[in-house]
Amino acid sequence: MHPVIAYLIAAGLFGFGVYGVLVRRNAVLLLMAVELMLNAVNLVLITADTTVRAALPHSGQVFALFVIVLAAAEIGVGLAVVLQLYRLRRSVAVDEVRLDAVSGAESADTAGGVEGADEDLGRHAATGTAS
C-alpha cells in the first residue's frame, strides 16, 4: 500500500474528529471525536515509522503506544467527569453546563441573593445542621 493512502485516511479521521469537537453538544460524542483524532495521530505515527528509516527503529510504534495509553487515561477521566456531570445536572449537553457555578446548592444561594443565603442559614440553625 502506498503511504499517501494512509496519510489521507489519517487526515480524514482527524477532520471528522475536529468536526465532532466543534459541532457536537453531547459530552460522550465529544470524547469519541477526540478519540478519532488520537487514532488519526496513531495512523500517522505508524505509517511514518514504516516508510521513513529513522535512527531509532520502531520509534513511531513506541510513540503510538504512548498515545494509546494517553487515550485510555483520557477516556477514564473523561467518562468519570461526564458521569458526575450527569448526576449533578441530569444532562450531558456541553453547552448547557454553567462554568461559574460549582454545585446546585451554591447556584441556588447566589441566585437568591443575600435573602436566600440568610434563609438557608436560618434553616440550618433551626435544624442544628451546619453546611
Q: What is the mean pLDDT of residues 104-129?
A: 49
Q: How far is CA 48 from CA 30, 90, 100, in A?
A: 27, 44, 44
Question: Model confidence over 73-97: pLDDT tens digits?
Answer: 988 998 898 888 888 878 778 777 7
Report the predicted TM-score, pTM, of the whole model to 2 decimal places. Answer: 0.67
Higher pLDDT, residue 122 or 15: 15
C-alpha cell at 114: 443575600
Question: Model confidence over 32-65: pLDDT tens digits?
Answer: 999 999 999 999 988 888 888 767 777 888 888 8
Which domains are present in the chain?
A: 3-97 (1.10.287.3510), 99-131 (no CATH)
The pLDDT, as a whole number, for residue 115 is 47
